[in-house]
A and B are shown apart, each in its own frame.
Chain A
């Protein structure tokens, strides 16, 4: 009952071109049937994410550990609420990040859980920068 070969093959890595995404914008791409949010964060969003006392978070993780160094403006997270799997809405909620309409979980501009029933931060998918404007997810 585990995924069959074709499902696994269809889950191969994908490349995403970031050049059309302006600052403050974000795009949603699908990888393995899951929506992946790629946000081009503003200076304000980055500062907010880094100003937080990490130890006070429900799922402590620093912003530095969630983005690639040298590409701090890019946040890449799997857009599936860690509570029960709904899709959070970007640019909503009290933390300049994501808001889940199902049960009210709120994530900050680093995709970390700040408020609501979700137990964990939005997961960061495996990805690397192929060039300055292109990433490979998977």
Chain B
């Protein structure tokens, strides 16, 4: 893409093609001999990382779409079943869901790098604007993808975001109807979002081609912001940039794999494991972390239309950046004031992200307003003003001069900043799950916690017994089939035992030849029958509160960890909020209601239930279930066993996930080292 190539393949067949379609010459001139500045640092590898992530998202997404059903009644179940039944379905889903977060993480670094080093300045304005277009498309794609699992957050996120358009005067309501395809968010909405979620990544890929094209016409910017002048200033793209990008991708993969294999739900919201319910709004609607700064801007403006305009202009303003900042010096390295304001701006964005996850009340609203003003002031006041008053330090005459002057600076700071940024920025979500004034569940020692965690087979078998004898009279377990009991990583029953267990149940089947429904003994392929035929029956039989299905309960419940625990959790891999809560709830019933708490008729006091008034009576008492293996028949033991069992029902492939994760990590670490030493060798003469 940098002018006509004089590349001539030696192979006659390739020569034949090259004369008719000079594609090899194009690749050769763009990615092999293409001159890349010698002084690029590791922040420049994020372009390659982003291309890699886009490819990854498209690849995993296409396979996921083969197993997904875009229908309001079936979508949630199809996602759960693809995680459970499709070969490596759990891996595909984790890669795709965490991949979206990593994609945004990389794009934010990429954008901030452009901001710091002035990569948007003449002659790279179009390159920068194409980047903003890609970012907008990514936001739309990410939002629609989040709707597809059709959980509570999916549904209510879709409701809130589509309602943003109703703020537009005159045509707003019609636009919202067009987005919905009905009178509210529903099945037609899900269908069109699925279609668009499949389409948009290919549009992104198209704009990426334009982005790279514009890059290769204007040439890459570099940390010193001076254009390459002689051949000494550049190195050929291959092998220098290729191997360096390869090393960058390998390091990035380590972070990505940490999420995929060890913290797959860290960035998600527990509420999204509850199927969408148009009649109940979750107490806190929080978007995915990558939208939080803009969500905070939206909420800090008290007028609806102005809030929506504020939110969108926070992104659109980036398009005008090349003209807002008129300073001649590109790189902030040589702009002492701009450098300081840049870091203040980064802090403002992170704080806005934190506020976006907080409830909109009190001090948070005021702080949000102050920071919103700061955000816009950076673009509208600080940058235009700085370009007039700031005296930049002298810029080196050439890139080679800059390299000689510096003598190679350490790159270790990159890693430190990376880790700190991950912890702070991605983790800000954790605080969103507010505590609602309940006591915090005590932590437990779970056999399945940590990077090598495994389920305790005995506990799984005992937990199954507790579920069958106690819980199953009110709670369903609809995503678990009897065959699962014999699968690897489960309670460890044989196929014959699972079949015998199934035959104890009566399962409704039919219609038979006479057109009647009939009951037959269960088979391994059947799912656990639910105690009530539908939600209304369950509600009617239980005083108005439907007992939730327990298949996913340990993932669908959580509690706020608060600052700074959620940052520490990222490193310790703590993700047992759900099991801790369930175990605490089962033991949290107390006869004596503390003073100041009123429990309505037909409810019971529970120390750990949000609001303390629970409709479920105390389910377990000592000696209620007989254990054959000599374990103590106490409420504490029952709770622990049944919680372990329910963790397994929520994630039957957890052992496989952690086992594969270890193998992947060993491989990636070796790979990254090899890449590093190869890179060192390749660059030995160039520094």
Q: B160 contacts A102, CB within 8 Å?
A: yes
CB interface residues, A 1-50, toward B, < 8 Å: 1-4, 7, 11, 28, 30, 32-35
CB interface residues, A 50-94, toward B, < 8 Å: 80, 83-87
User: Which residues of chain B have C-beta atoms less than 8 A from A103's C-beta?
Assistant: 299, 360
| Min C-beta distance of B536 to chain A, whole Å | 13
Alpha-carbon gap, A132 to B59, bound state (A): 61
User: Which residues of chain A have C-beta atoms less than 8 A from B184's C-beta?
Assistant: 32-34, 80
User: Which residues of chain A have C-beta atoms less than 8 A from B477's C-beta?
Assistant: none
Q: B183 contacts A11, CB within 8 Å?
A: yes
Asked whether any CB of chain A lies closer than 8 Å to the CB of B628, the reply is no
User: Which residues of chain B have C-beta atoms less than 8 A from A104's C-beta?
Assistant: 360-361
| Min C-beta distance of A37 to chain B, whole Å | 11
With contacts A7-B188, A86-B159, A117-B307 taken as known, whether A33 is within 8 angstroms of B183 at the C-beta atoms is: yes
Q: B177 contacts A33, CB within 8 Å?
A: no
Q: B304 contacts A119, CB within 8 Å?
A: yes
Q: B178 contacts A85, CB within 8 Å?
A: no
| Min C-beta distance of B363 to chain A, whole Å | 14
Asked whether any CB of chain A lies closer than 8 Å to the CB of B281, the reply is yes
| Min C-beta distance of A89 to chain B, whole Å | 8
User: Which residues of chain A have C-beta atoms less than 8 A from B281's C-beta?
Assistant: 86-87, 100-102
Q: A33 contacts B303, CB within 8 Å?
A: no
- Residues of B in contact, count (CB < 8 Å): 32
Q: B279 contacts A84, CB within 8 Å?
A: no
Asked whether any CB of chain A lies closer than 8 Å to the CB of B482, the reply is no
Q: A33 contacts B304, CB within 8 Å?
A: no
Among A33, A84, A85, which residue has its beta carbon within 8 angstroms of that of B186?
A: A33
With contacts A2-B177, A83-B304, A84-B160 taken as known, whether A33 is within 8 angstroms of B192 at the C-beta atoms is: no
Among B160, B164, B177, B360, which residue has its beta carbon within 8 angstroms of that of A3?
A: B177
| Min C-beta distance of A3 to chain B, whole Å | 5
Q: A87 contacts B279, CB within 8 Å?
A: yes
Alpha-carbon gap, A87 to B276, bound state (A): 14
Which among A1, A30, A34, A80 has the highest number of chain B CB atoms within 10 Å? A1
With both beta carbons as reference points, the residue of chain B lying nearest to A85 in the complex is identified as B163
With both beta carbons as reference points, the residue of chain A lying nearest to B174 in the complex is identified as A2
Q: A119 contacts B188, CB within 8 Å?
A: no
Asked whether any CB of chain A lies closer than 8 Å to the CB of B285, the reply is yes
CB interface residues, B 327-368, toward A, < 8 Å: 360-361
With both beta carbons as reference points, the residue of chain A lying nearest to B180 in the complex is identified as A3
Alpha-carbon gap, A4 to B186, bound state (A): 13
User: Which residues of chain A have C-beta atoms less than 8 A from B407's C-beta?
Assistant: none
Asked whether any CB of chain A lies closer than 8 Å to the CB of B302, the reply is yes
Q: A84 contacts B163, CB within 8 Å?
A: yes
CB interface residues, B 243-284, toward A, < 8 Å: 278-281, 283-284
Asked whether any CB of chain A lies closer than 8 Å to the CB of B143, the reply is no
Asked whether any CB of chain A lies closer than 8 Å to the CB of B623, the reply is no
Alpha-carbon gap, A87 to B304, bound state (A): 17
User: Which residues of chain B have C-beta atoms less than 8 A from A87's C-beta?
Assistant: 279-281
Alpha-carbon gap, A20 to B182, bound state (A): 31
| Min C-beta distance of B62 to chain A, whole Å | 24
| Min C-beta distance of A6 to chain B, whole Å | 10
Contact with A along B294-308 (1 / 0, CB 8 A): 000001001111010
| Min C-beta distance of B177 to chain A, whole Å | 7
Q: B178 contacts A1, CB within 8 Å?
A: yes
User: Which residues of chain B have C-beta atoms less than 8 A from A30's C-beta?
Assistant: 278-279
Q: A86 contacts B156, CB within 8 Å?
A: yes
Contact with B along A101-125 (1 / 0, CB 8 A): 1111000000000000111000000
User: Which residues of chain A have C-beta atoms less than 8 A from B185's C-beta?
Assistant: 33
Alpha-carbon gap, A7 to B72, bound state (A): 14
Contact with A along B280-293 (1 / 0, CB 8 A): 11011100000000
With both beta carbons as reference points, the residue of chain B lying nearest to A1 in the complex is identified as B178
User: Which residues of chain A have C-beta atoms less than 8 A from B162's C-beta?
Assistant: 85
With both beta carbons as reference points, the residue of chain A lying nearest to B285 in the complex is identified as A102
Alpha-carbon gap, A80 to B279, bound state (A): 10
Among B164, B285, B303, which residue has its beta carbon within 8 angstroms of that of A86?
A: B285
With both beta carbons as reference points, the residue of chain A lying nearest to B178 in the complex is identified as A1
With both beta carbons as reference points, the residue of chain A lying nearest to B280 in the complex is identified as A87
Among B163, B182, B284, B299, which residue has its beta carbon within 8 angstroms of that of A33?
A: B182
Which among A7, A34, A80, A85 has the highest number of chain B CB atoms within 10 Å? A85
Q: A117 contacts B302, CB within 8 Å?
A: yes
Asked whether any CB of chain A lies closer than 8 Å to the CB of B492, the reply is no
With contacts A1-B178, A85-B163, A117-B304 taken as known, whether A101 is within 8 angstroms of B299 at the C-beta atoms is: no
| Min C-beta distance of A30 to chain B, whole Å | 7
Q: Could you list which residues of chain B lie within 8 angstroms of chain A, going by C-beta atoms?
A: 156, 159-160, 162-164, 177-178, 180-186, 188, 192, 278-281, 283-285, 299, 302-305, 307, 360-361
Known: A86-B159, A87-B281. 15 other contacts (CB 8 A): A2-B178, A3-B182, A7-B188, A32-B183, A33-B182, A33-B186, A33-B278, A80-B184, A83-B163, A101-B281, A102-B160, A103-B360, A104-B360, A117-B299, A119-B305
Q: List 21 A-B contacts (CB under 8 A).
A: A1-B181, A4-B181, A4-B188, A7-B181, A7-B182, A32-B182, A32-B183, A32-B184, A33-B183, A35-B279, A85-B160, A85-B163, A87-B279, A101-B283, A101-B284, A102-B281, A102-B284, A102-B285, A117-B307, A118-B304, A119-B303
In the A-B complex, the 9 residue pairs with the closest CB atoms: A33-B184, A32-B183, A85-B163, A86-B281, A84-B160, A85-B159, A87-B281, A84-B163, A119-B304
